[in-house]
Amino acid sequence: MRWRAVHWGWEAVQRAGVVTADTPAGRGFAAFGRGSMAAFPAGSVFGERWIAIGADTLIAAFVTLSAGMVPGQDLGPAPVLRIGDRCVIGRGSHVVAHCSLLIEDDVFIGPYVYITDQNHGYADPDEPIGRQMPRNAAVRIGSGSWLGAGAVVLPGACIGRNVVVAAGSVVRGTVPDRCVVAGVPARIVREYLPGDGWSAPVRLGPAAPGSAGPAVEAFEGVAQSPDAPG
């Protein structure tokens, strides 16, 4: 009986703690669209004045949504974290914005995904990295994309539309529309070609031993960033 009472009580708390557009917590955001819900318990949520969430978006429990370094930081007149309509953010994910982080409509994000537009600087090899000024670079995740469990999206990433990011991948740089990327760092493993459908990247010529091929290497050249940790 005690076991049942504990579970019934916890379920009641979870229902009561859901954030919607009509709750005081929901009204604290820059925007919180109709039909959207954020489950309870949440992760670390602060900077709501600079977070805009579209309609019919579902945010699972233990998701961290933050704008700025600390609660109360003034980030200016416009939202820095924008989440579109009909998105899903999986349990335990972190979406951490400081300058500009855009998640477009219909993006599905698996559990324990980490997305940020800021990284530690490490230009001075003698100064502790935690004391050096961070670097910001805008992030965009295109509509209709899917990010698998445990993926990491680093500052400066620009992911196209209808892109699949494989579980555990680390994305940086530009990813074109309609492709599948995987690995650390992520690189194209499949792409959609009109008339041909989904296939492995087209090789432009013979690849050197141990090379992924010109098409993949071209993407990797774009994806590499001297400011991002390897």
CB 50 within 8 A of CB 74: no
Sorted by sequence, the CB contacts under 8 Å of residue 203 that are 6+ apart come out as 213, 214, 215
Beta bridge partners of 198: 192
120 is catalytic: yes
End-to-end CA distance of the chain: 53
CA angle 63, 65, 68 (to 5 degrees): 150
Give the count of beta carbons closer than 10 Å to the beta carbon of residue 214. Answer: 16
One-letter amino acid for residue 173 of the chain: G
Alpha-carbon gap, residue 92 to 27, rounded angstroms: 23
CB 105 within 8 A of CB 116: no
Q: Which listed residue (7, 94, 98, 120) is catalytic? A: 120
3-state secondary structure of 195: coil
Which of the residues are catalytic? 120
